Structure 1
Amino acid sequence: MPKALLSDRRRHTNVVHRIAAPVRNVPKEYVHLHDEDAVLLTKWSSLGSDRFAVTAHWPEAGVYGGSVPLLLAQTVRQCALLIGHAELSVPLSHQTLMELMDFSVSGDFYDPKNKPDNLFILVTAKRNNPRSLRIEQSILSEGRLVVEARLDYSGIAPAAYRRLRGAHAEVAWEDVTSPAPVLAHTVGRTHEREVLLAPSGLPNRWQLRTDVSNLALYDHRVDHVPGLVLVEAAYQAAHAVTAPDCHPIRVMSTFNRYVEFDAPLWIDASVVPAPDEGVLHVEITGVQNGGRAFSVSMDCAR
């Protein structure tokens, strides 16, 4: 496994057998979803001192199409939202602003023989400030540590959010259009409907496709492009420049501003030298209206 993102994690996998089993079902509202079948988390419990246990189930098929990177990012996202709302008093009425999502993954996690059905997640919650949370996660499969992750996000009260978003607070989804996609296999996808990148006419640059009919990424109406869409677009861009295979084993994502539906978002990817053999390092940047909207540093196993 790559060097841990979270240096203060010293839990042994045997901890799984020492803690109380999670006892509560996860409501879809706690993870900001309308489709119950899209909820990957199953139960959770408190371990005391801002520590929690969460279980997750990955279906063979369904809205996420069996994509390991998408399932993993969605699991990390859902876990952070669940703990914020259920345990840390973040009101369900608040809007959330994702600030960063980082994770490191065991190199053999992408082997189909190791694909997990059920996951166990040890969670630690911290407050960056009164409004912002850091949710750190150790994800285990069959008692083996396979992923370490952290996600920072802020909760914004409805009135403050309306002031912040201004004219962008309402989006007519029926007017949202997307350019034609690149070929699905070039970005590691099977179906055209899954492709988030459109040609730009320049090498290693693409335009983001905001296809709101993609239920894996647009479960319900939102006024900006979700952070999960940007992470998936970064994965597809990394695949395009490292083909034929890109298995992200370390991902560090930073979100600088909201991505709007009414202007093109340009995504650039480049491979840069990596100190470790067997690893390709990719830098991905998204720019909208002349300003950086997000950036992702990704290590991919060869």
Structure 2
Amino acid sequence: MTELAERTEVRTAVADPATAISRLAFDRTVARGEVHREALSEVFLTDSVRVDESRFVAAARLPASHAYYGDHTGGTPIDPLLLLECCRQAETHAVHAHFGAPRDTKFVLQSWSLTMHPLPANVHIGPAEVVISAHTDEAVWRAGELRAMRYRMQVYVAGRHAADVVMRVQYCPDELYRLMRGRCHDGRVPSSDDFRFTTTEVAPGLVGRDRPENVVLTDARVGADRVSARLRIDGGHPSLFDHAQDHVPGMVLMEAGRQLAVLAASTAHGTPADAVEVTGLNAAFGAYAELDTPITVSTDGAAVGSDLLVCFEQEGRVLVEAGFTCLPRNPNTDQGAK
């Protein structure tokens, strides 16, 4: 085995959750490679402590400002997708640090869900400390290596319970992953570095954004009972494509779903984009979203105050079905009214 493929040393368990949390450090981020990131600005996880064989706690820091996660016309103090990214980094780090997965293990997302909880508007957010309490189950081990796990995470921001996240992930040896992906493309695997788009026909304000570069939809079409758009892939985006990918990451798809939900509210129902808050999501991933074929994102355009089912299709095949909870923004909290 190469050095990168060697099993990482599993950290010693603490056994007591309170003690584990007290040992969490926030003064520096973990190594970029431990959360599969290239840019330091995209690393939010600062520490992780194992409680026992099925539990761990993790720490993260929300940035005071961020060109992507902080770009919202409604002035959202906490971006739900930022908390989801913190949980993704906690899961990725834990697989190596606590469960001994080799460094080159590939991660295959099966499903995830996020539910935000309202916080008082006077709670100071950004920069803020995040604590994640994670319980794992449904583990699948083969020949001593982890192949699948479910994670149930409670997320606390500035000491307040801010969100709950559940995710299911499968793990694949690097050689098997490369073989599988190569077969799908006749030996030639595309790279996101080859896809650089700088313009979109969708105005940023219609999807709750200020910066055009953060819009991931194009060719939007609004009908009486359906809103659809094409996914805009910009492999040069510093956050959505922090490093080269051979497929469209799940976080990019979730951003597209969120933007389509806001677009449906603002165009089909006349609700201003900055008055809509996406406070929850759940998604099941059935196939890889390929880079080199158009992806259509669509919803029936249900009204604000209900869950929108967003469908992602490519070449007639459903890749992902995701639900997004859209609520009118409540000025008394930093999440929508309930």
TM range, smaller chain:
0.7 to 0.9
Deviation at 1:189, TM superposition (A): 0.7
Query: Normalised by the size of structure 2, how large is the TM-score?
Result: 0.77
* Counterpart residue number, 2:31: 27
What corresponds to 2:97 in structure 1? 86
Aligned to 2:318: 292
Change (3 A) 1:138 1:174: closer
Mapped partners of 1:214, 1:201: distance in 2: 24
> C-alpha distance in 1, partners of 2:264/2:314?
21
TM-score by length of 1: 0.85
Equivalence map 1:46-125=2 (5 Å): 46-67=50-71, 68-108=79-119, 111=121, 113-116=123-126, 117-125=128-136
**Aligned match of 2:149:** 133
User: Could you tell me how far apart the structure 1 residues matched to 2:257 and 2:33 are?
Assistant: 27
* Structure number with bigger Rg: 2
1:251 paired with 2:253, answer no
Change (3 A) 1:247 1:235: same
Deviation at 1:87, TM superposition (A): 0.7
**CA drift at 1:90:** 2.0
Q: Is the 8 A contact 2:48 2:59 kept in 1?
A: yes
Name 2:165's counterpart in structure 1. Answer: 149
Structure 1 residues without counterparts, runs of 5 or longer: 1-14
For the residues of structure 1 that align with 2:285 and 2:221, how far apart are their CA atoms?
Answer: 26
Check conservation: 1:181, 1:196, Cα contact below 8 A.
no
What SS class does the counterpart of residue 279 from structure 1 fall into?
Answer: coil
User: How far apart are residue 126 of structure 1 and its match?
Assistant: 2.1
Q: Which SS does the other structure have where 2:264 is aligned?
A: helix
Shift in alpha-carbon separation, 1:25–1:266, aligned structure 2, 3 A: closer
Q: CA deviation at 1:252?
A: 0.6
Q: Which amino acid aligns with 1:238?
A: A
Q: By how many angstroms is 1:112 displaced?
A: 7.8
- Look up the SS of the partner of 1:199 in the other structure: strand
The answer to whether the 8 A contact 2:80-2:116 is kept is: no
Query: 4+ runs of 1 displaced by more than 6 Å?
Result: none
Partners of 2:61 and 2:254 in 1: how far apart?
21
Amino acid at match of 1:29: G
Q: Which position in structure 1 is the counterpart of 2:234?
A: 211
**What RMSD in Å do the two structures reach over aligned CA positions?**
2.3
Change (3 A) 1:240 1:216: same
My pick for the range that moved more, 262-271 or 46-55, is 46-55
Give the % identical residues: 23
* 1:225-283 CA distance string (max 9 Å, x none): 1111001111111111123233222211111110111110000023447xxxx832111
Change (3 A) 1:61 1:162: same
**In structure 1, the residue corresponding to 2:261 is in which secondary structure?**
helix
The residue identity in structure 1 corresponding to 2:208 is G
Q: Once the 2 structures are TM-superposed, how far is the Cα of residue 19 of structure 1 from its aligned partner? A: 4.4
Cα distance in 1 for partners of 2:21, 2:196 equals 49
Equivalent pair of 2:289/2:319 in contact (CA under 8 Å)? yes
Deviation at 1:205, TM superposition (A): 0.5
Partner in structure 1 of residue 308 of structure 2: 282
Equivalent position amino acid for 1:189 in 2 = R
Which residue does the alignment assign to 1:262? 292
Residue 189 (structure 2) pairs with residue 170 (structure 1): yes
